[in-house]
Amino acid sequence: MDQIIAISIFLGVLFLLLGSGVWVGLSLMGVAYIGIEFIAGRAAGGAMINTIWGASSSWTLTALPLFVWMGEILFRTRLSQDMFRGLSPWMASLPGGLVHTNIVGCTVFAAVSGSSAATLTTVGRMSIPELRKRGYPEHMIVGTLAGAATLGLMIPPSLTLIVYGVSINESIRELFIAGVVPGLVLASMFMAYVAIYAMVSPSYQPVTETRLSFGEKLKNSSYLIPVILLIVLVIGSMYFGIASATEAAAFGVIGALVLAAFQGSLNVRTFSDSLMGAVRTSAMITLILAGAAFLSLAMGYTGLPRALADGIASLELSRFELLMALLVFYIVLGCFLDGISAVVLTMAIVEPMIREAGIDVIWFGIFVTVVIEMAQITPPIGFNLFVMQGLTDHQMNYIAKAALPMFAIMVLMVFVLIGFPELATWLPDNIRN
């Protein structure tokens, strides 16, 4: 009964603070403070200072602002235009045509960004007018872009995987490597959906593209060279063990600055805007992480994580049943919290469960990321829906409906991961060994 009362107090205060518009990080700190002072009966001040400092001064966490800054720099370059020019000749001949540029473009930019919002905005501002001009179905343009942009959360460098790794003290490098194959598989599933829809739908009749020779296609592909080199620099340096995640992030920032300078888009204004954008985003995420660390400490004092883990263990759920319960839990939670907040808020409770169930924590990071991707396109808080609304002026329900097939594909991807866990574990296991 005491545990039920404690849980009710935690949840009641949390939803009261979030509902009143208090920042997520501060809300978490407020809940933790009340938990330590009034439930655990301890002085919260000193514990709060030490915990927040410890959570904010992690060396691993330094990769976060660097990857955010890299994405901000690239957002202000001509990368989206160059990607469309380089990809469109190859995509036009596929079933579904240039809609595939949404998916492939998001996959490519995800490999140098880490943010679904940055991926969506960068690719969308170029592909939307081009696809509309060619007569592609509006719901396919909107749905594929909103769904494929979530790949920014999985394909390294992923901000969500960085936050997950910091939260459970696991290797960011291994999480990044684990996300490569599942991210590519999910992108392939999106492309298969587009191809099948184009072949069976009589309304899918875009303007026929001018056929280019193989040599002309290769010439246009030269526009992709800068971003491919940047991907090789960032991911390759981690893959071959040359650099840690933080060092790879530093390489990425330097590479992005060089790319921006090469394109002529680097000046005092863009440099300042990118730096301030990175500071704002990083400060927001770090505040959430600090609040979550303090809340984890408070929950430890009250014994809630252990009690909940023991309670679920007493239900004797199988591994599959536990994963299904967590799938539903994170989908519901994602309707009301952004992905990073959902991860840091729950790890103190979920981590003991998955470790006791013998679930690989690296694999589980990819599992959670796929589910968090779903949350990006589920109302009422789905962040990609808001970004998409700003790009297209469509109503929220139209965008959510258009993205529903992509949501269903992500659910299918969860079961693919459960059935074939090696998709996420084989690469990091072999590189580690």
- For residues 190 and 225, give the distance between their C-alpha atoms in angstroms, rounded to a whole number: 24
Provide the pLDDT for residue 326.
86
Residues 168 and 345: beta-carbon distance below 8 Å: no
> Looking up tokens 């299918």, which residue turns up?
412
* Rounded-to-integer distance, Cα 202 and Cα 268, Å: 51
Q: What is the pLDDT of residue 1?
A: 47
Burial 250-281 (b: 16+ CB within 10 A, else e): bbbbebbbbbbeeeebbeeebeeebeebbeeb
Domain boundaries, the chain: 2-432
Residue pointed to by tokens 């005092």: 268
Q: Do the beta carbons of residue 350 and residue 326 sit within 8 Å?
A: yes
Torsion of CA 188, 190, 196, 199, to 10 degrees: -100
Q: Give the torsion sign (CA, 255, 259, 260, 264).
A: positive
Q: Which residues are within 8 A (CB) of 401 and not within 5 positions of it... i.e. 6 or more apart?
A: 139
Using only the alpha carbons of the chain, give its radius of gyration: 22
Burial (Cβ within 10 Å: 0-12, 13-18, ≥19) of residue 337: buried
Q: Are 129 and 142 in contact (CB under 8 A)?
A: no
Give the C-alpha separation, 210 to 350, whole Å.
53
* Cβ atoms of 326 and 308 closer than 8 Å: no
CA atoms within 13 A on the CB side of 214: 0
Other C-beta atoms closer than 10 Å to the C-beta of 192 total 13
The overall pTM is greater than 0.85:
no
Tokens of 147: 């769904």
In sequence order, the 6+-apart residues with CB closer than 8 A to the CB of 276 are: none
10 Å Cβ neighbour count for 383? Answer: 19
Under DSSP, the state recorded for 211 is: P
Write the DSSP assignment of 103-148 as a string of letters: HHHHHHHHTT---HHHHHHHHHHHHHHHHHHTT--HHHHHHHHHHH
What is the rounded CA–CA span in Å between residue 92 and residue 101? 9
Distance separating alpha carbons of residues 152 and 421, to the nearest angstrom: 21
Render each residue's pLDDT in the chain as its tens digit; 433 residues: 456 666 677 667 777 876 777 777 788 788 878 877 776 666 677 777 777 787 677 676 777 788 778 878 877 777 767 777 788 888 878 888 888 988 988 888 887 776 777 778 778 877 888 888 888 889 999 999 988 988 887 888 888 888 888 888 888 888 988 998 999 999 999 999 999 999 998 878 787 767 777 787 788 778 788 878 888 888 888 777 788 878 888 888 898 888 888 888 888 888 998 889 888 877 877 787 777 777 767 766 766 656 665 666 677 778 888 899 888 888 877 766 667 777 877 787 788 888 888 899 999 999 999 988 887 787 766 677 777 887 787 887 888 899 999 999 999 999 999 999 999 999 888 775 5
